[in-house]
Amino acid sequence: MLDSYVQAELAALLPPSALLTAPEDTRPYECDGLTLFRERPAAVALPETEAQVAGILRVCHAARVPVVARGAGTSLSGGALPDRNGLVLSMAKFRRILAIDALARTAVVQPGVRNLAISEAAAAHGLYYAPDPSSQIACSIGGNVAENAGGVHCLKYGLTVHNVRRVRALLVNGDAVEFGGASLDSAGYDLLALVNGSEGLLAVITEITVKLLPKPQHAQVALAAFDDVEKAGAAVGAIIGAGIIPAGLEMMDQPATRAVEEFVHAGYPLDAAAVLLVESDGTIEEVGDEMAEIRRLLTESGATSIRVSRDERERLLLWSGRKAAFPAVGRISPDYYCIDGTIPRKALPLVLRRTAEWSKEFGLACANVFHAGDGNLHPLILFDANREGEIERTIAFGDRILGLCIEVGGTVTGEHGVGVEKLSAMCAQFAPDELERFHGVKAAFDPSGLLNPGKAVPTLARCAEFGRMHVHHGELRHPDLPRF
């Protein structure tokens, strides 16, 4: 519950329909895409102008009310999980594309604009917005910036941080500030890079300028089957070693392949231990040459079958399986939990082998989809929340995979963010001195700690309590402790 005077001040800023406080109205905001964690906020505000957002922030700042900014609510790490004493600041009404400059290849958009809507609007100019997280039909660009979202094409075209020119935002006290500009760099520290992936802890984004790219003339995808996961991994190394940066490079293991084939009937080989999807884009001549080389390298690496798309319909069909991997797994299991670690690609065989062992140990099935080009692994742990103890076993299994990601030199989150989900894992990845600097960055922007409190960076107290084996930069901090 908000104090009545705070509620009255907020009500004075907004039309009645834009301030929700009744439990039945705030319930839809109690979680985001990570449904394992839920919390009812004290209130939800749905402003539609920057002046209203500034007013809300000033009221909350003065009254020390926590504020959790929320876009489309598709976060997979609980980044938009409400604070029970706080306000959810929904940016859903900021859905206008303000300008598209075809010559400069930029679009100025409000944060609630859907990712895909930008590309749709830019299509008339032969342009598109490159980052394409799998939730792109629903997720909003403000959330993409907050999480530094990736997608299947980021090896070649980069993450959100590489495709955003300018962010306009409000600080916790309501002051407006701009990071970046129309130019390719700006004076002073690179605060534009810092705000990307800051998970709503530093400022509330109100406007974004994104970079648009010319749509490639042509694209083709190859689907290759392997009887062994290591061979598939070696094929990825061979392609990159040959100087090719594919537009997309994805791997799925057998459980994932079987789940998606049952769902989309794309003709994926069910007997393969792993399949690779390799996409080439560019001019017609370029794609022709590159695809011939890719086919040769796949064959040399021991692919048991290779199918190259002959037209756009077939290309989309071959991709449909990968893009439907999460819902497909959702069909074969009552619940699933998506892990998001990144590893050096050479560690893939080890990580998959251990994951398979732990799958048996925990009695939980696991399907793997992998952004193979950039090392971002998404094990999907299958579980049933209604079965006694399965949630706890699932989380323990996931933590163990993330621990291994750190141990092999990787990271606990490649693209989904820390949110509330990976706070403990952060204790394992960073030393106290480093976490302290993160808190310093937070305090530089938000000294009162009101913006999305308790997310992204664990408190040192939490880490001490967590007291787990501390693997840091591949070194064991406490080598005397028994290892799992």
Partner 1 sequence: MTDPAIEALQATVRRAAATRASLRIVGGGTKEFYGASLSGETLDVRAVTGVVDYDPTELVITARAGTPLDAIEATMRAAGQMLGFEPPRFGAGGTLGGAIASGLSGPRRPYAGAARDFVLGVGVVDGTGRALSFGGRVMKNVAGFDVARLMTGAMGTLGVITEVSLKCLPRPHAEATRLFELSADESIARVNEWGGQPLPLSATCFHQGLLAVRLSGAPSAVASARAKLGGSELEGADALWSSVRDHRHAFFASAASAAAPLWRLSVASTAPYTDLGGEQLIEWGGALRWLAAGARTDAAKVRTWAQAQGGHATLFRAAAKPVEVFHPLPSTLAALHKRLKATFDPHGILNPGRLSAAF
Q: Which of 57, 294, 412, 450 binds partner 1 (CB under 8 A)?
A: 412
Report the DSSP pairing between strands 471-472 and 475-476. antiparallel
Q: Is 314 in the site for partner 1 (CB under 8 A)?
A: no
Contacting partner 1 within 159-218 (CB under 8 A): 159, 161-162, 171, 175-178, 181-191, 193-194, 196-198, 214-217
Q: Is 473 in the site for partner 1 (CB under 8 A)?
A: yes
Write each residue from 332 to 351 as x if it is in contact with partner 1 (CB under 8 A), else as -, in one continuous string. Answer: ----------xxxxx-----
* Main-chain phi, psi angles of 322, to 5 degrees: -65, -45
Residues that bind partner 1 (rule: CB under 8 A) add up to a total of 97
Among all chains, which residue has been given the structure tokens 């910036």?
145
**Residue 305 and residue 282: Cα distance in Å, rounded?**
25
Interface segment toward partner 1; rule CB under 8 A; list 34-42, 83-91, 97-105, 359-367: 97-105
Q: Report which of 44, 63, 52, 178 is spatially closest to residue 448, judged by C-alpha positions.
A: 63
Three-class secondary structure of residue 99 per DSSP: strand
Contacting partner 1 within 21-60 (CB under 8 A): none
Q: Which is nearer to partner 1, 37 or 438 (CB)?
A: 438
Q: Is 410 in the site for partner 1 (CB under 8 A)?
A: yes
Structure tokens at 64: 């020390």
Q: Is 460 in the site for partner 1 (CB under 8 A)?
A: no
Q: Is 237 in the site for partner 1 (CB under 8 A)?
A: yes
Longest alpha-carbon distance in the chain: 71
Q: Is 429 in the site for partner 1 (CB under 8 A)?
A: yes
What's the number of CA atoms in the CB half-sphere (13 Å) around residue 304? Answer: 15
Q: Which amino acid is at 296?
A: R
| Closest separation in Å from C-beta 6 to partner 1 | 25
| Closest separation in Å from C-beta 10 to partner 1 | 24
**Residue 152 and residue 117: Cα distance in Å, rounded?**
18
**Residue 468 and residue 481: Cα distance in Å, rounded?**
10
| Closest separation in Å from C-beta 418 to partner 1 | 6
Q: For the chain, give percent helix, strand, coil, nearest 5.
A: 40, 20, 40
Q: Which is nearer to partner 1, 161 or 264 (CB)?
A: 161
Write each residue from 64 to 83 as x if it is in contact with partner 1 (CB under 8 A), else as -, in one continuous string. Answer: --------------------
Q: Which is nearer to partner 1, 1 or 284 (CB)?
A: 284
